[in-house]
Structure 1
Amino acid sequence: MSLSTGMAASVMPTDGAERQKAAAMEEFLVRHPLDAGEGVARLVSADGEEVEVPAQMFDVLHQISAMLARGDGVAISAVSRELTTTEAAKLLGMSRPTLVRLLESGAIASHRVGSHRRLFLRDVLAFRQRQMEERRKSYEALMWESDALGFTDDV
Structure 2
Amino acid sequence: MSLSAATTASVMPTEGADRQQAAAVAALLTRHPHAAGGNPTRLLFPDGEQVEVPTQLVDVLRQISAILARGDGLVINALSRELTTTEAAKLLGMSRPTLIRLLDDGAIACHRVGSHRRLFLSDVLAFRGRQMEERRKSYEALMWESDALGFNDDE
TM-score over 0.5 for the pair: yes
CA gap 1:29/1:54 in 2 versus in 1, 3 angstroms? same
Residue 63 of structure 2 corresponds to which residue in structure 1? 63
Distance in 2 between the 1:51 and 1:35 partners?
14
Residue 103 of structure 1 corresponds to which residue in structure 2? 103
Contact 2:14 2:68 in 1 (8 A): no
Residue 125 of structure 2 corresponds to which residue in structure 1? 125
Contact 1:9 1:77 in 2 (8 A): yes
Residue 17 of structure 1 corresponds to which residue in structure 2? 17
1:15 offset after TM fit, Å? 2.1
> Given the two structures, how large is their TM-score scaled by the length of structure 1?
0.93
Aligned residues: 153
Distance in 2 between the 1:74 and 1:4 partners?
14
Residue 113 of structure 2 corresponds to which residue in structure 1? 113
> Given the two structures, how large is their TM-score scaled by the length of structure 2?
0.93
The percent identity for this pair of structures is 74
Residue 134 of structure 1 corresponds to which residue in structure 2? 134
Distance in 2 between the 1:86 and 1:143 partners?
35
Which runs of 5 or more structure 2 residues have no equivalent in the other structure? none
Contact 1:36 1:55 in 2 (8 A): no
1:32 offset after TM fit, Å? 1.7
1:46 offset after TM fit, Å? 2.0
Distance in 1 between the 2:56 and 2:127 partners?
21
Q: Secondary structure at the match of 1:33?
A: coil
Contact 1:103 1:109 in 2 (8 A): yes
1:33 offset after TM fit, Å? 1.6
Contact 1:4 1:10 in 2 (8 A): no
Distance in 1 between the 2:149 and 2:87 partners?
43
Distance in 2 between the 1:102 and 1:37 partners?
43
Q: Provide the aligned C-alpha RMSD in A.
A: 1.5
Structure with the bigger RCO (C-alpha within 8 Å, sep 6+) is 2
Residue 92 of structure 1 corresponds to which residue in structure 2? 92
Distance in 1 between the 2:121 and 2:19 partners?
33
Q: Secondary structure at the match of 1:43?
A: strand
Distance in 2 between the 1:77 and 1:36 partners?
29
Distance in 2 between the 1:35 and 1:129 partners?
26
Large movers: runs of 4+ above 3 Å: none
